[in-house]
Chains A and B, each alone.
Chain A
Amino acid sequence: MSRPALADLAVGQSIGTRTVSVQRGDLVRYAGASGDLNPIHWNNRVATEVGLPGVIAHGMFTMGQAVNLVTDWAGDPGAIIDYGVRFTRPVPVPYPGAATVEVDGTIGAIDADAGTVLVDLSVTFDGAKVLGNAQVLVRL
């Protein structure tokens, strides 16, 4: 797979966009694979009892999905050396139906000496940001 060359990149450049469609079954799968079995991510009654609008996606599910854009662009999962986010809003996931999360990546900084690129991720649901300060440091 081809990997981007540092010299070809510029701050402000887009690395692409991605649309993630999230269904209840995806949250159940994530619960099983991650071991995070909190019922607010699969049981509507429990979710509403704690004051949520209904079942919400695991923040870690959304964080995990959002970085795929960067991994695929970088061409190697091992290139991701730092990834941090703030969880600013929940993503309610209806049943039946799906929630649609939009991911957009932009180059925020380039460090030629270190051979690294900082990618700013914009991750939104319903037009509002669900991950804040979402930044991925990539070694190229």
Chain B
Amino acid sequence: MGVNAAYAGRAYPPTAPYAVGREHLRDFARAVGATHPAHHDVDAARALGHPDVVAPPTFAVVVAQRAEAQLIADPEAGIDFSRVVHAEERFTHHRPIHAGDALVTVLHVDAVTERAGLAMVTTRCEISAADGAPVATVVCTLAVRGDEAGG
């Protein structure tokens, strides 16, 4: 069995809001070695015009991967996670994510292609704020090895 190509073009209903916590942002920043004061110190963030501590540029992956689980964990989609390699990732920030945000994500499956035993699955997470304003777009491409290529 392989990845189900019929999933291409699919869009999922909006997720429940993801509450962005100040301490979690600080922990994530420490985990990627991001020492800029705007990630850690509320006053430093406000001095730059942000309402609260701001997320490092790749923090949106935490929000996106929860939405992507709707696809990955779906047995009908045929994605064997033990055969998955992360191929590409891209973040477009419409505005910075900050502590206090409640983020809602709509997951889109943009493409499913298969070539030489390797399936490429591209998803797009459109992340928006509670008021509906766009916050970030996260595009992720996974490469899934076919059965015969497993090792």
- Seen from chain A, the residues whose Cβ lies within 8 Å of a Cβ on chain B are 1, 20, 26, 29-30, 32-36, 38, 50-51, 59-61, 63-65, 67-68, 71-72, 76-78, 80-87, 136
Contacts and interface: CB of A to CB of B under 8 A. Distances in A.
Nearest to B95: A78
A84 B93 contact: no
Which of A61, A64, A81 is the most central at the interface, judged by chain B CB atoms within 10 Å of its CB? A64
* Interface of B (DSSP majority class): mixed
Nearest to B24: A33
Contacts of B95: 78
Given A30-B32, A50-B82, A71-B36, A77 B65 contact: no
Q: Interface extent on B, as a size class?
A: 35 or more
Nearest to B96: A78
Contacts of A26: 31
A78 B92 contact: no
B27 A76 contact: no
Contact of A61 (B32, B38, B139): B32
A30 B31 contact: yes
Contacts of B91: 82-84
Given A63-B58, A77-B55, A84-B88, A29 B93 contact: no
